[in-house]
Amino acid sequence: MEQQKVLPHLFRTQHQKMIAVLVRLFGTQFLQVAEDIVSDCFLAAAELWGLKGLPENPAGWLYVMAKNKALDHLRRNKIFRDKVTPQLKLSTTSSAEDFDLDLSDTHVKDSQLAMLFVVCNPINKPAAQVALALNLLCGFGASEIASAFLTDRETVYKRLQRAKKLLQDKALSVEQPSENEIKERLPQVLLVVYLLFNEGYFSEGPDKAIREELCQEAMRLGILLTESPLTALPSTYALLALMCFHGSRFEARQDQRGELVLYQDQNRAAWDQQLINKGRYFLQKAMAEGAAASKFHLEAGIAFWHSFPEEQPQKWEQILKLYDLLLKQQYTPMAALNRVYALSKVEGKQKALSAMAEIHLDQHYLYHSLLAELYTDMDNQKAAAHLRQAVGLAKSPAGRRILDGKLRVLKEQL
């Protein structure tokens, strides 16, 4: 990996691990301290690696730096005990020199699992829980979270600050979640992982249409949840199945120039059959006897029907039924939009256009993109008008290029 790519990659993969371990040591009252230590580590890396080159083991270098900085903090607290009263997981007779920061794989995994449930504590509202987890456990900045929430950066920044203050004021210990905590908070934890995957898979960033490292991180967290007997539940397996199905199309979703390739135009031979098989395996585990169908079960079922190299009989009928169930469970305009596309495949464009009148999403580019597709060959003037609106609303450069291409083809038919 090129030197200029190493540090961003490590930030994505190691930042949240280091935060989790340090907060588990200090408790949430010293959340800011943990963040400062980790930030200092990456700042030191940026400065020193630029001058001296990459160390032999960059991740190991960061871990040693984190341990040393944590030790410095403990020493300072000992000196300034009259000003700061830390409630650390060390006895009052322990020497700072005896301190050892456990960054073993097992402890890191346990700390991350515990941290997932701490940040989803109900003392914060659901939206704040998601933002906090994306920030602390996934390395998202306020701008990226704002994009995921379709809101502005300032709102997200204030939400993060309030959420962190509540956790700090509560002074929570970071321990393995109880059975009751899992039942209460797992849906929110799974939503965090889901949003992380979507941010990578449907990236609206200016540089890349797909950010595989974010998707891989989401899948890693999903696997982490299935590896613990406490959280290896049907809904967890369903989410992991969904990510496997979508992840199987990474290679086919981009051409050699890095441009997005739509599902219907993909080279299906390039799909990762091993990931598809894993998706089917996890979906089967998700369908345990008596398991309730979660949002993730239904979305994984839809992705399952899209995972076959050849079109299957009843595919769109089954997908339409799954969208109907999904909307009954929780209505969202985007799910309703996707249902309309399935409806057009089953009952035709005219029926789909009638259904579009019930969806209020006219400030989203996908709404106008779908209208353009429905009007194509029925009223190409309207189709072109909606494509122009879609281009104006699309945030992703890759998305705009696809829409521009469709518009050029349509103009040739006018």
CA dist., res. 136 & res. 381, Å (int):
48
Q: Does the pLDDT of residue 314 top 90, yes or no?
A: yes
Give the mean pLDDT of 141-150: 74
This prediction has a pTM of: 0.80
Q: What are the tens digits of pLDDT across the range 233-267?
A: 999 999 999 999 999 998 888 877 767 788 888 99
Q: What are the tens digits of pLDDT across the range 113-133?
A: 999 889 888 898 887 888 888
First-to-final CA distance of the chain: 48
Predicted local distance difference test score (pLDDT) of residue 81: 43
Q: What are the tens digits of pLDDT across the range 74-102?
A: 777 654 344 334 444 444 444 555 556 78
**Residue 214 or residue 265, greater confidence:** 265
CA angle 83, 84, 90 (to 5 degrees): 140
